[in-house]
Structure formats: C-alpha cells, structure tokens
C-alpha cells in the first residue's frame, strides 16, 4: 500500500500545495517562496528519503512567518496521513548531525501524541535573520508545528554551534535522519509497534 499524501491548504494568508511519498528516494521539488526555507525543506526531503513536492505562496511582503508556518502544518498533516495506522514501522529513532561547528540531535517517536521539546539554541539565535527572510525563531516554530500536526513526539537539542545558518541546517537534517529511520518498515515488526495496539 502506497504511503503517500497530497494536501492543499488555502487561507487568506497563504496557499500551500504539498505532496509526499514516505518510501521515496529523497527527490524534491520545493518552492516555498522563502529562499532559506527552500534550502531547509530540500534538505529535509533529501536526508529523510521522503519524496517531497511543495508549491507555496503567501503574504511574504508582510513577513515570512505565515507561509513558513502553514507549510509546516501541511507537512505534518501529510506525514500523519501517509503513515496511516503506522503498522510495521520502527517508531523510535534518533540522529545526531554535524554541520561544521554546529551539532544537533533529534529524537523521534511516531507516537500519535503530539509533543515537542527544543533546547540548546544559543542566546540571540531567535533574533538572527538567515538568508534575508528567515528568522531563527522560525526553526522552533516549524518543529513545533510539524510535531503537533503529525502527532509525533520530537525532542530536538542543539549541542553546539555558532553560525545561525549552520545551526538551523543541522536541526533540519537531524530531524530528517531521525524521521527516515522512525518511519521506515521494520521487517521484524508484525502489526502496530505499541503495547496498546494503536498509535
């Protein structure tokens, strides 16, 4: 059974068209209308091996916030939809990813219960403007939005870092690698990986 999803979300602030395939090869076609976010979502698809297509536009003349948030919401919803009943997946995974001086760790539980903890970003990171459009505070907001709408538990910890671009990219890549392993089929798992029988 194909683990795919396509979602279109349109509000007065943005329009997002997103499709994904959890069993892909990391092929991406990303146009978020926010250049640095294109870079981050391309990395997310590439390193999770999720085929990902995003076409989005919004009121970026005001701020990138609405468009960035809505894409994260739709990505989370699509991830949840494509996972279905989560039968046969590994469920838990973690990944620690470096980018030069930056190091980030992500731990994921495809639990059906939304929770997000982000720690370790250096003081002032949230105020940094990365790529001219993307503030550091949006990284945590993206992670929270994905976790809430995918109904997953995500712990993301920045272990070290100096350059805001490197820190953000390490965070996205750590999430990508953790997702890759958490959502992949485990040949030893028969049924749903929970003592409750549901996730």
Instruction: Tell me how far apart the alpha carbons of residues 71 and 4 are, in angstroms, rounded to a whole number.
Output: 17
pLDDT of residue 105: 98
pTM greater than 0.85 (yes/no): yes
DSSP SS3 for 30 = strand
Instruction: Tell me how far apart the alpha carbons of residues 134 and 64 are, in angstroms, rounded to a whole number.
Output: 7
Per-residue pLDDT tens digits for 18-61: 999 999 999 999 999 999 999 999 999 999 999 999 999 999 99
pLDDT of residue 146: 98
Q: Taking a C-beta distance cutoff of 8 angstroms, is the pair 164, 128 a contact? A: yes
Average pLDDT value over all residues in the chain: 97
User: What percentage of residues in the chain have a pLDDT greater than 70?
Assistant: 100
pLDDT of residue 155: 98
Q: Residue 51: phi, psi to the nearest 5?
A: -65, 130
pLDDT of residue 1: 81
Burial 167-194 (b: 16+ CB within 10 A, else e): bbbbbbbbbbbbbbbbbbeeeeeeebbe
């Amino acid at each position: 059974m194909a683990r795919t999803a396509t979602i279109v979300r349109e509000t007065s602030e943005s329009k997002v068209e997103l499709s994904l395939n959890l069993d892909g090869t990391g092929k991406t076609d990303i146009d978020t209308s926010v250049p640095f976010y294109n870079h981050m979502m391309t990395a997310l698809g590439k390193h999770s091996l999720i085929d990902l297509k995003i076409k989005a536009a919004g009121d970026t003349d005001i701020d990138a916030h609405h468009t960035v948030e809505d894409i994260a919401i739709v990505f989370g919803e699509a991830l949840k939809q494509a996972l279905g009943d989560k039968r046969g997946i590994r469920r838990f995974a973690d990944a620690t990813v470096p980018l030069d001086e930056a190091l980030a760790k992500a731990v994921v539980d495809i639990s059906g219960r939304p929770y997000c903890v982000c720690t370790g970003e250096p003081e002032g990171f949230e105020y940094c403007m990365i790529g001219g459009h993307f503030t550091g505070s949006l990284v945590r907001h993206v992670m929270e939005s994905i976790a809430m709408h995918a109904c997953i538990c995500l712990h993301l910890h920045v272990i070290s870092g100096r350059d805001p671009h490197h820190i953000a990219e390490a965070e996205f890549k750590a999430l990508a690698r953790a997702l890759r392993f958490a959502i992949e089929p485990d040949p030893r798992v028969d049924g749903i990986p929970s003592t409750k029988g549901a996730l």
